[in-house]
Amino acid sequence: MLSFVASRIARAALTIGFVVTFAFVVLRLSGDPALLIMSVDAPPEAIEAFRKSWGLDRPIWEQYLAYAINALSGDFGNSMRDGRPAVDLVLERVPMTLAITIPAFMIKLVLGIPAGIFAALYRNSALDRLTMMVSVAGFTVPSFVLALLLVLVFSVQLGWLPSSGNDGWQSAILPIITLGVSGAAILARFTRSAMLEVLGQPYIRTASAKGVPWRRVVADHALPNAAIPTVTIIGFMVGSLIAGAVVVESVFAWPGVGRLLVSAVANRDLAVVQAILLAIALSMVAANLCVDLAYGWLDPRLRRGRAQH
């Protein structure tokens, strides 16, 4: 088990290194931030001085080497806009993003998993058809479309909730609903598919034939085995708590990490973009590692297989 964890950690480190390297190279090849920040009408001397002060006049491999050395010591660069450390700017926005993504994640679990389980247990019933119809609608409608519809109904027509900004807890309701509904629809579909696959297995029929009560068959055999593929999508959702809020935060003008990322990309604020991408990569890698460990806990066969290897 220790060797498995060590291999996963090494793979995670390589993944993070690849993401950081890819982002660094692509951002610098996609355009000159000096021309955007200083504007094309600025004197050539001022533009050149800006490039030199931020190290943009050096070859890209020298820039990357300096960035990597500084990053290993915890220095991820400063914002080109206000000169503040990029990490500080990101950490300031993380609580605001978590304020809408964590409640939305709880909504996904509370609505999605039970809906998928009951839809599978009552397959082809009216409940199953209704659940799938709602989940397909929630899965196919883009999050920005759902957000605009919610604003139109609850802000414009009814006037119950703010349409944008951060004016108190009421401003967080529509972003939370937007994130929660779409995620619950996805989770319901995955849970239903996983349950149907497990319910069709021979050991389920064998347990029922032996006279085991159906509730025990579902609780002791079906749910633990159906949880394994469901954990995968849950882990992905946990890892994408920050990345998944980019569109919603932009629509609702919510001052979180997602909106900061959009602003930093538009302004060519390289250090801030790199810091946010690093945070997203860390969260995704950590979530995937937790999913792998959860597999071993849910399925003892996986633990025995790892031990043999």
SS (H, E, C) 8-25: HHHHHHHHHHHHHHHHHH
Structure token digits, residue 307 = 């031990």
How far apart are alpha carbons 93 and 280 in whole angstroms?
A: 13
How far apart are alpha carbons 114 and 150 in whole angstroms?
A: 24
Structure token digits, residue 57 = 């006049």
Per-residue confidence (pLDDT) for residue 299, from 0 to 100: 57
Per-residue confidence (pLDDT) for residue 298, from 0 to 100: 56
Asked whether residue 99 carries a pLDDT value surpassing 70, the answer given is yes
**Per mean pLDDT, which range of 119-123, 200-204, 299-303 is the poorest?**
299-303
Instruction: Name the 3-class secondary structure at 82.
Output: coil
The predicted-structure confidence for 113-168, as pLDDT tens digits, reads as follows: 888 888 888 888 888 888 888 888 777 777 778 888 888 888 888 888 887 777 77
Torsion angle defined by CA atoms of residues 238, 240, 246 and 249, in that order, rounded to the nearest 10 degrees: 0
The predicted-structure confidence for 18-67, as pLDDT tens digits, reads as follows: 888 888 888 777 777 777 777 667 777 887 888 888 877 788 888 888 88
Per-residue confidence (pLDDT) for residue 169, from 0 to 100: 80
- Which positions ≥6 away from 118 have C-beta within 8 Å? 127, 131
The angle, 0 to 180 degrees and rounded to 10, between the axes of the packed helices 170-199 and 113-121 is 30
Strand partners, 13: none
Structure token digits, residue 121 = 């247990």
Asked whether residue 309 carries a pLDDT value surpassing 80, the answer given is no
The CA-based diameter of the chain, rounded to the nearest angstrom, is 86
Provide the 8-state DSSP code for 141: S
The predicted-structure confidence for 274-294, as pLDDT tens digits, reads as follows: 888 888 888 877 777 777 766
Most confident of 215-219, 247-251, 286-290: 247-251
Torsion angle defined by CA atoms of residues 280, 283, 287 and 288, in that order, rounded to the nearest 10 degrees: 50
